[in-house]
Amino acid sequence: MTPSFDISRIAIPRIAWAAYGFALIVIVLDQLTKAWLLNAAGVSDIAMIPDGYVFHVVVPGMLKFSLVRNDGFSFGLAGGGEARWLLSVFSIVVAGALAWWATTANRRLLITAIGLVIGGALGNAIDRVRYGYVVDFLDFSSTGLFPWVFNVADSAITVGVVLLILDSVLSERKPQPVGVAHEKA
């Protein structure tokens, strides 16, 4: 008899579903904000919008919505577009690993962080597959303090990583005094 794999036997804890819910919210918000912005340009094809096109100045000297095609990773590093598929696959693999991790996580802060990073990674992967680059538009470069342009998915990844670090710091056990050991059964 050949062993078989029955997916119906995999029990996903309820707390893991919260991470998946956070991820879904991030993906939807990311894609909706990009669709809204691209529709605001009034063109039928995103390729018709020039890179750097300013859709709207939200707060003069501080925030504007500008189109930037990010064909690299993290803030446009290693750009050029050659890594499109590698970065897409990497994002999906990372999201899958985090989704698996969520099945073993038991802290709300950790679950929130995992969900945000999953959603951000998949939101940007959708762009890479769909357009060949990530659509960035939140532009604070006028301030002179933050020269990069980013999107909702990037924001979710950043907040998620900060929450992962915070969870790690908060969850570390206090060291026991010398000579005190827990008895093992």
> Is 136 a catalytic site residue?
yes
Exposure b/e, 116-135, CB count within 10 A at least 16 = b: bbbbbbbbbbbbbeebebbb
User: What is the CB neighbour count within 10 angstroms for residue 22?
Assistant: 22
Catalytic option among 127, 136, 139, 167: 136
Is residue 87 within 8 A of residue 80, CB to CB? The reply is: no
> Is 154 a catalytic site residue?
yes
Strand partners, 79: none
Catalytic option among 30, 71, 127, 154: 154
The two three-digit tokens of residue 165, written as one number: 């670090």
User: Position 29: which residue type?
Assistant: L
Catalytic residues: 136, 154
